[in-house]
Amino acid sequence: MYEFPCGWMETGSQDVDETEVIEHGNRELQEEIGYKANKLHQLTQFRLGNFALVPFYVLLGTALEQSSLPADVGEHIQVEWCTIDEAEQRLLYDQIPTAQVYIALHEYKRFLARL
């Protein structure tokens, strides 16, 4: 199974500050892929029906540099880089099973189209 780096913010509140989202996103990158982003941009936020009390955030990290933090207990992650085309193929063949990843990929492609 393939995923994008992701995490869960346990804030106890539905009101989350954008700075907090950016900082949490950068921690997740460091824990899960061993890089930090010198710039993180929020592409979108969304809710999956009644699935979550808080929204999901899609962030785009740029100007990456190596920087790692210890992984969460019980997480065993193997990093594999791929192109956008390869990610789309994996979606088509159900190798990426989550709607969150589909939405993130879609939002990234929309971002690229605006450049």
Residues 62-114: tens digit of each pLDDT: 999 999 999 888 888 889 999 999 999 998 888 887 888 889 999 999 999 99
Return phi, psi of residue 18, to 5°. -60, -35
Domains in the chain, CATH or no CATH each:
18-114 (3.90.79.10)
Amino acid at 103: I
Helix axes 84-92, 99-114, angle to 10 degrees: 150
Give the model confidence (pLDDT) of 29-47 as tens digits: 999 999 999 999 999 988 8
Q: 18-29: per-residue pLDDT in tens?
A: 898 999 999 999
